[in-house]
Amino acid sequence: MRERRKLTSGRRKGRGIIFVFLTPAILIYALFFLYPAARAFRISLYRWTGFNYANAEYVGLANFQEALTDRWLFRAALNNIWFMVVGGIFLFGMGLFFAVVLTNKQTKARSFFKTVIFLPHVINVVGVALLWVFILQPRFGLLNTLLRSVGLDALAQVWLAAPYELHSFTFIIIWYVIGFYMVLLMAGIDSIPSDLYDAAKVDGASDWQSFWHITMPLLRDVLAIGVTYWMIASLKIFGVIWAIGRGASLKRVNTIATYMMSYVAARGAGTVFRMGFATAIAVLLFVAVLLVSLLFFRFSRREAIEF
């Protein structure tokens, strides 16, 4: 009995210590996430300009009703889905290709290519936007200048206007983030025991067979993490679109986040600030991210592969 009491008291002390260490983190999380989230939901129920809360008018769910029937918000959501699906296919296809090639010991100058591919990801997003503005600028941009210099004037286009703007932004975003996903996949490939590949070679398997039957199955969990992260990130795309599109008024390539921001950022004289409506969009975006995360985790949940 005494031993049981000692074990029980020891567990209680252990739980108490855990609670003590978790308390600061819980308080910070509540202060900087839970309270603002609750506050945002409250603001979304009002018609408010954002300047004087005393003038806020309670409208209930009217902001959500307007947001769900707004055709431009629907267009922005379709752009997010485009980046998620089409951009994701190219992102993981190219990321997996680079990861496999750069983990192969026979590849020369691996460190150089790793650095070159990962470098854009460490650049500030505004710097990336300005870089591509100068590259894709129709008159003096680097791309059109190169095309004209080799006699391909017909291929010189206004790349940041219809019908090329969505494809241009997709390329820019993939170029910006691909280094992160390449490193993630490389870490997964490096964790696979080399003995499996040696055994496959002894059995006469080709490189493609080794990739398909060894690398892909054992990389499944890492891919699931990467895909989940990309699905969430694609719903929150903001920086590149805002930095480039705001100056060019590219309404056709708005994402949910940039469309929301357009109602709380000044655009010149006569701007009407709609903090309540913008916050309602933010709440809907939060719900969308949460649902996408839960659904993907639900359908991708399998038993872990041990090796």
Indicate whether 175 pLDDT > 90.
yes
pTM to 2 decimals? 0.84
Q: CA angle at residue 251 from 233 to 92, to 5 degrees?
A: 30
Distance in angstroms (rounded) separating the CA atoms of residues 210 and 212: 6
Residue 191 is classified by DSSP as T
- Return the percentage of the chain with pLDDT > 70, whole number: 88
Indicate whether 307 pLDDT > 60.
no
Q: And the tokens for 148?
A: 């004209």
Q: Among residues 213, 176, 177, 184, which one has the least CA distance to residue 102?
A: 184
Distance in angstroms (rounded) separating the CA atoms of residues 97 and 91: 10
Distance in angstroms (rounded) separating the CA atoms of residues 95 and 78: 24
- Return the percentage of the chain with pLDDT > 90, whole number: 25
Residue 96's pLDDT band (cuts 50, 70, 90): very high
Query: DSSP for 87-126?
Result: IHHHHHHHHHHHHHHHT-TTSTTHHHHHHHHHGGGGS-HH
pLDDT of residue 78: 94
Q: And the tokens for 73?
A: 């918000």
* Beta-carbon contacts of residue 290 (< 8 Å; ≥ 6 apart): none
pLDDT of residue 60: 86
pLDDT of residue 51: 76
Residue type (1 letter), 12: R
**Which of the two residues, 305 and 113, has the higher pLDDT score?**
113
pLDDT of residue 177: 94
Residue type (1 letter), 120: P
Indicate whether 172 pLDDT > 90.
yes
Domains of the chain by range and CATH?
Answer: 60-300 (1.10.3720.10)
pLDDT of residue 154: 84
Give the other-Cβ count within 10 Å of 247's Cβ. Answer: 11
pLDDT of residue 93: 94
**Which of the two residues, 180 and 269, has the higher pLDDT score?**
180
pLDDT of residue 2: 52
**pLDDT tens for each residue of 72-93:** 999 999 999 999 999 999 999 9
Indicate whether 9 pLDDT > 80.
no
**pLDDT tens for each residue of 233-271:** 999 899 888 888 765 556 788 899 988 888 876 554 445
Q: CA angle at residue 54 from 48 to 60, to 5 degrees?
A: 45
Indicate whether 224 pLDDT > 90.
no
pLDDT of residue 268: 46
CB 134 within 8 A of CB 127: no
pLDDT of residue 7: 47
**pLDDT tens for each residue of 21-58:** 888 888 998 888 888 888 888 888 988 877 777 778 88
Indicate whether 174 pLDDT > 90.
yes
pLDDT of residue 195: 85
Average pLDDT over the chain, rounded to an integer: 84
- What totals of helices (H) and strands (E) does the chain contain, helices first? 16, 2
